[in-house]
A and B are shown apart, each in its own frame.
Chain A
Amino acid sequence: MTVRLSGGAEAQGLRCTPGDCAEHGRGQGRERRCQRKAGHGHCPGNRSGGRGGDKGGGERGREGGSGSGSGIGSGGNGVSESQTGAVVVAVVPRSFRSVSKYVAVLALSVENAAAYFADTLVRTIFMAVVIFVFVLLWRTTYSVTGHPTIAGFSVAQMIWYLVITESIINGRVRYWRKMDEEVRSGQIAYSLNKPVNYLVFHYATFLGESVVKVGANLLIGSAVALLMVGSISVPLEAAPFVIASMLLGLTVDYMTEAAIGLLAFWVEDTAPFGLIYNCLALILGGTLLPLDLFPAALRSVAAALPMNQVVYAPARMFASFSSSQPFAILMGQVAWVVVMGCALSCVFRLGRRRLDVNGG
């Protein structure tokens, strides 16, 4: 059933982001042109029906002839024109251009995602449903056990924990699919000629869109949680830690998923890996159940994997800031960023070499 794997946006295929325009390329200045003309027509990611994954090959044919082969594109047309990226690129002196480039991409990605905000909010209704049901479940659970806390969590804390995990898990962009497509469509070959760091560029794109989506999820989820279980006491100083933790977590997620997607250089179908990663994130990442509730053996397995850095870490920190060890958590996340970062660039370099050898 498609309750988890293909939530809203995923089922509709990835939306294109302006930077992907094969025609306009990337890099300074050219992004401006992209902003104006970006739309689904240019973006290869949307045109192909997509292979593997939930949509799978044969999508066109299987629509019994009624399909015109255009696949299912995501809702919304066009991108609001914005000069933000352009301004940033133009104003900042040449010596800083290299960083501002990516900031521009980030800003653009945010802008792009925000343009679809109404659409995003509709799809986040599901968040409300999820949190709603969780509240019902845990209220019942707590009343059955008769204790006010379970593994140190009160009902409210448990729910807020879940708000964070669900927001992240549903809001992040599933980048392995995107990378997979990049490799398969040969798009990556074009991009490597441009004066941008490929991985950082995509990171900026990923981050921009994810932040918006996670934000939307948080909005809705918090609203429901507030209504149903009230608020929890979170000290003000927790804010920077939590935000940092979430960003670090997203970073780990990007790196892992991008690495999986880049496996497309060698593997015919990366879908199994992507799906496994997602499933592990749901269980061993602590999305559905805090790791604190796991039996010890499973807990140590989970600790050895990167998924919990993405979801469990920030959520745990938020839900019970004082009892968690924020610095330790952050350090752990940083460590994983380093590890996955290395893994990613390794995979990338190897893949690139393969590309050079075999051509597009």
Chain B
Amino acid sequence: MSTADKVDKVDKGANRRRRPDGVEGLIKAPSSDGAEPAKAGLFADVRLITAYARLNLQAAMEYRASFISQIFGMFLNDGIWLAFWWLYFTEFPVLGSWQREDVVVLWAVLATSFGVATGLFGNALGLSGIILRGDLDYYLVLPRDVLLHALVSRMSTSAWGDIAFGTLVFIAFGGATPGRLALYMLSVLIVAVFFVSFFVIVNSLAFFIGSSQGISEQLQMTLVHFASYPTTIFQGAARVVLFTLIPAGFISSVPVHVLRRFHPGFFAALVVATLVLAVAARAVFNWGLRRYESGNLVTGRI
């Protein structure tokens, strides 16, 4: 009796149907309760991410010169802003409660977490394009979670420039003690998830509004831009927006309220905000995906 037959005997339940045979041994043998071949768990997802990361890096390295110049370019880009702030603080030593060091740390956190976000989940920024072109079909035919798969299948090469820059800056100017470094890395991971979640939500507009790429892009850029300024300059209504619609405030408060002086309250708020955003991202995407699968996208992708 083949494995499949044996498993069939164990199968119970209304939805269990006779699975086609022939896959035994090739796909990892089903677990004893007759579940589907390796219903991808967390480890499987991590393996998927690493597989794609490796492959993406390989592909990027094929064009050595371009790879390097992209990283270099991003370095420069980030450097410019640092130069700006350097000049600014030369003229104006204090901005509210912020000092030069705080802005430097802000940029380090921002750059590194953005780099991690677009490095590992490179399609986050361009998700709306994928949706509108109907390219989600490719992922739908494969046995993995569509959102995760779509996100990780691309890596932004310049992301490495961001990561390198951010880390270097932090080590050089951020007063990197082991404790701070650990906190820094933790913050970076949290903010990276924050970024990805926001990008997913904003790009999922494509499910509901046709040709929303422009809007998605603007919203993405706005988040990053808002997050790159000290929170002190935002007052009143602007401040409210900074913590709701464009929640950049959570990000830009990290240097002062986590790294300079650890405020557990704020840190908790950051974590909660990230979780909320992540859950919302998943929900909005799934909602949109159902719409996509009903084929009634505004663009009429038949």
Contact = CB atoms under 8 A, between A and B. Distances in A.
Contact of A54 (B95, B158, B229): B158
Contacts of B130: 63, 66
Interface string A53-68: 1101110011111111
B166 to A, nearest CB: 10
B69 A3 contact: no
A334 interface: no
A12 to B, nearest CB: 8
Contacts of B77: 1-5, 275, 279
A279 B63 contact: no
B95 A63 contact: no
Given A63-B153, A269-B69, A288-B84, A57 B62 contact: yes
B76 A129 contact: no
Nearest to A130: B225
A129 B220 CA distance: 12
B214 A122 contact: yes
Interface in B91-108: 91-92, 94-96
A141 interface: yes
Interface in A124-168: 125-126, 129-130, 133, 136-137, 139-141, 144-145, 150
Contacts of A122: 214-215, 218
A52 interface: yes
A74 to B, nearest CB: 10
Interface residues of B, number: 68
Interface stretch (A79-87, A289-297, A320-328, A335-343): A289-297
Contact of B214 (A65, A68, A119, A268): A119
A51 B70 CA distance: 10
A123 interface: yes
A68 B226 CA distance: 35
Given A66-B135, A133-B226, A272-B73, A58 B214 contact: no
A268 B65 CA distance: 8
A264 interface: no
Nearest to A142: B92
A166 B238 CA distance: 22
Interface in A265-287: 268-269, 271-272, 275-276, 279, 282-283
B73 to A, nearest CB: 4
A337 B118 CA distance: 40
Interface residues on A, range: 35 or more
B157 A1 contact: no
Given A7-B221, A269-B69, A1 B233 contact: no
A144 B87 contact: no
Contact of A293 (B76, B87, B122): B87
Contact of B69 (A62, A141, A271, A295): A271
Interface in B195-244: 211, 213-215, 217-218, 221-222, 224-226, 228-229, 232-235, 238
B27 interface: no
Nearest to B234: A136
Nearest to B84: A288
Contact of A141 (B95, B126, B234, B238): B95
A215 interface: no
B159 to A, nearest CB: 9
A140 B232 contact: yes
A53 B87 CA distance: 27
B267 interface: no
A72 B129 contact: yes
27 contacts: A4-B77, A5-B77, A8-B218, A51-B66, A52-B66, A56-B60, A56-B67, A56-B70, A56-B158, A62-B154, A63-B154, A64-B153, A66-B150, A68-B135, A119-B214, A123-B214, A123-B218, A136-B233, A137-B229, A150-B91, A269-B66, A271-B66, A272-B72, A283-B80, A288-B84, A289-B87, A293-B91
Given A57-B63, A271-B70, A275-B72, 6 more contacts: A1-B78, A4-B77, A4-B81, A64-B138, A279-B77, A295-B87
* 3 smallest beta-carbon distances between A and B, as pairs: A64-B153, A57-B63, A122-B214
